[in-house]
Amino acid sequence: MTSGRPPSLLQIELLSDATFSRGEGTAGVVDTEVERDKFGMPFIGGKTVRGLLRDSWLSMSRHFPSLEQAAERVLGRSQALDESCRLRISDAVLPAAIRATVRGAAERGEHKLLPGIILDGFTSIRYQTAEDRETGAPGVTTLRSSRVVLRGFVFEASLSWLDGYRPTAADARLLALCALATRHGGLFRNRGRGHIRMTLDGDIEATRKYGEATA
């Protein structure tokens, strides 16, 4: 470990617009909607965050055989969430100061901000069509819309360890390597969306040091 305490949050910075879908659209507005809370603030589900980290681990695991047991403790076994998985990852939400300001505006006595207005402040709608393979022209009736969270916003997922478990150097290294290797997330990656940067505690240099540390 590079410090006396384990990392307490995973920060996700959007380097490009991103669509972390809720699996449905909003009738008459958009075909593909993003996850958002009751106030209209977007977030990234904890299961989605864990899935991104696990995908990164699967792509690199053959190069780090000594971290296999740490991967079970940090990410759990595939399609399982049992006692072998020590790490809990919360939903990734906007920073506390932003959330407090938005809640205040949504809950004040007069001139409350409605969820739709709040959502529009963090997002935009993009349109795309499929191309006709023969002509290269936009295909008929293929126009689709999707909401994106605008680049520049930062999300934070809390990290906690089951039953007071204290992560080892191998656990911290595994988590840091997966975070550094995770560069994209969400839908439409082949259209330039979802370029992200993950860091532990929002500190890229500390994250690199965790990744370089010997287990």
Q: Provide the strand spans (E) within the chain.
A: 9-14, 87-89, 123-128, 144-149, 154-161, 196-200
> What does the pLDDT read at residue 145?
86
Mean pLDDT of the chain: 87
Looking at the predicted structure, is the pLDDT value of residue 83 above 70?
no
**Mean pLDDT along residues 53-82:** 87
User: How sure is the predictor about 146, in pLDDT bands with cuts at 50, 70 and 90?
Assistant: confident
Q: Is the CA virtual torsion 49, 53, 54, 56 positive or negative?
A: positive
Instruction: Show me where the domains of the chain are located.
Output: 9-212
pLDDT of the residue at 165: 87
* Predicted local distance difference test score (pLDDT) of residue 204: 96
Q: Which residues contact 102 (CB under 8 A, 6 or more apart)?
A: 39, 40, 41, 94, 113, 118
- pLDDT bin (cut points 50, 70, 90) of residue 194 is very high
Q: Which pLDDT belongs to residue 24?
A: 62
Q: Is the pLDDT of residue 52 over 70?
A: yes
Give tens-digit pLDDT for 125-136. Answer: 988 765 555 554
Overall average pLDDT of the 144-151 stretch: 91
Average pLDDT (101-108) is 94
The pair phi, psi for residue 165, each rounded to 5°, is -60, 135
What is d(CA 91, CA 174) in angstroms, rounded to the nearest whole number? 20
Average pLDDT over residues 75-100: 84
Q: Which pLDDT tens digit goes with each residue over 13-47?
A: 999 999 998 766 565 567 888 999 999 999 999 99
Residue 37 is predicted with a pLDDT of 95
